[in-house]
Structure 1
């Protein structure tokens, strides 16, 4: 599939158009950012690791009956995806307390959340992705009530699949964010699922093995991403 132009360049990925208006090329770059772009570095192999990790996860979700925008991997750093109209809402599930939840509510990091906490955030870096609720979504027309219900269903279905997948690799899926879009009248999972957009801890030591290693200057960021991948069966090129 040939790229015909750049549709959008984000903080870590570039979206390219193709000859087919229904298909895009998602390019994963080595750029790594945190704190809404305040901290930026280039990490060698990151684009490849995240692309191959994401391809593995998306295929696992599709095998479990969860429809996504992913079509196939094209190269170590590029994947073919469906051209969706993205909904500007992030769906977040928290299985354990970490990050902003700890800061907001004063709960202990690592506290088990049963049932898991579900939250919506507006995808808006300039405003630091503020938390929103279903009333905001309805009033401002970001999604219909039926679409919100579907996004929640899919997000919790992803939780059931991935908690087990990571648990089998000796890992805790602490929290994660998902984005969705519209394609031919259907809501599909979009964007990516990689250690950039979730928290993963070693189940025994509680060692952080995700993007918090970059945020907190813990080092060995990509090596940890690769270790997570190997534990769940990703075969990196």
Structure 2
């Protein structure tokens, strides 16, 4: 098999040139990072789980009319996606206070917010992905005011879908972050949800016990990250109901 051209490698994924123009192959790694990569580990099976879970969420979004870059899953670790121009922002949607918001505002984790709150952070690992106001986004040309209005509307639609899906399986969607990409058709721009949606990018708490089922398990040394992600996949029907752990995955290059 011909060696594929690597386009980009991040902390959790690798992007390769796709089989057709305008496509990429997105490969999910087992690497886990936290606190701006100050904490790192390789967790067996994590990439397989995130691939399957992101496929589930992206497919669901597409089914309710929310555009994404996802085309189809190729194998246990890879997806075929549309090549997009990524807007250099992380779009954070918060339903409950947790993590950095709770620390900044002195709120108890789990405090319900009066409405979903959307924040933007500038995508730059060296700077620690700092929060930025809308004025910065527009002034530095990362997005226009119309883009921001469309991004907010898109993020709230994703929140409605994700919250409902999670509520149905007894999980509270505390917060999540997404990335947005531009697809161009001549001079016409379309904004789509890109990157991934998985427990890596969400805070997910069991509604009855408050047990964390997301990357905070790794950040805060709360147990097995694979077990937490497997539980999310099991509840959503992505894995068999009797699954308790992920077998060692087969790497497909």
- Per the normalisation by structure 2, the TM-score is 0.91
Please name the residue that 1:151 is paired with: 151
Distance 1:105 1:225 in 2: 29
Contact 2:15 2:25 in 1 (8 A): yes
Q: Which residue of 1 aligns with 2:93?
A: 93
In the alignment, is the contact (CA less than 8 A) between 1:3 and 1:17 conserved in 2? no
Question: What is the match of residue 9 of structure 2?
Answer: 9
Alpha-carbon offset, residue 229 of structure 1? 1.4
Deviations 1:133-180 (CA, angstroms, capped at 9, x unpaired): 111011000011111111111100001011010000000000000100
Tell me the equivalent position of 1:102: 102
Cα distance between partner residues in 1 of 2:85 and 2:93:
23
1:29 is aligned to: 29
Q: Is the 8 A contact 1:4 1:19 kept in 2?
A: no
Say whether residues 1:215 and 2:234 are aligned partners: no
1:129 aligns to what SS in structure 2? coil
**1:76 partner SS:** coil
From 177, 184, 192, the counterpart of 1:188: 192
Alpha-carbon shift at residue 3 of structure 1 (Å): 6.9
Matches within 5 A, 1:112-151: 112-151=112-151
Residue aligning to 1:169: 169
What's the offset of the Cα at 1:116? Answer: 1.4
- Partner of residue 231 from structure 2, selected from 210, 227, 231: 227
**C-alpha separation in 1, matches of 2:85 and 2:3:** 19
CA distance in 2, matches of 1:19, 1:176: 31
Structure 1 counterpart of 2:65: 65
**Secondary structure of the structure 2 residue equivalent to 1:33:** strand
Q: Which runs of 5+ in 2 are unaligned?
A: 241-245, 247-253
Give the Cα–Cα distance (whole angstroms) in 2 for the partners of residues 3 and 130 of structure 1.
Answer: 37
For residue 182 of structure 1, report the CA deviation from its aligned partner: 0.5
Aligned-partner Cα distance in 1 for 2:7–2:176: 26
The alpha carbon displacement at 1:19 in A equals 3.9
**Match status 1:197 vs 2:181:** no
Assess if the C-alpha contact under 8 Å between 2:18 and 2:80 holds in 1: no
Equivalents in 1 of 2:199, 2:24: separation in Å? 23
Corresponding residue of 1:206: 210
Contact 1:34 1:215 in 2 (8 A): yes
* TM-score for both structures, normalised by structure 1: 0.97
The CA deviation string for residues 62-115 of structure 1, in whole angstroms up to 9 with x for no partner, is 111100000000000000000001000111111111000011000111000121
1:235: how far off? 3.1
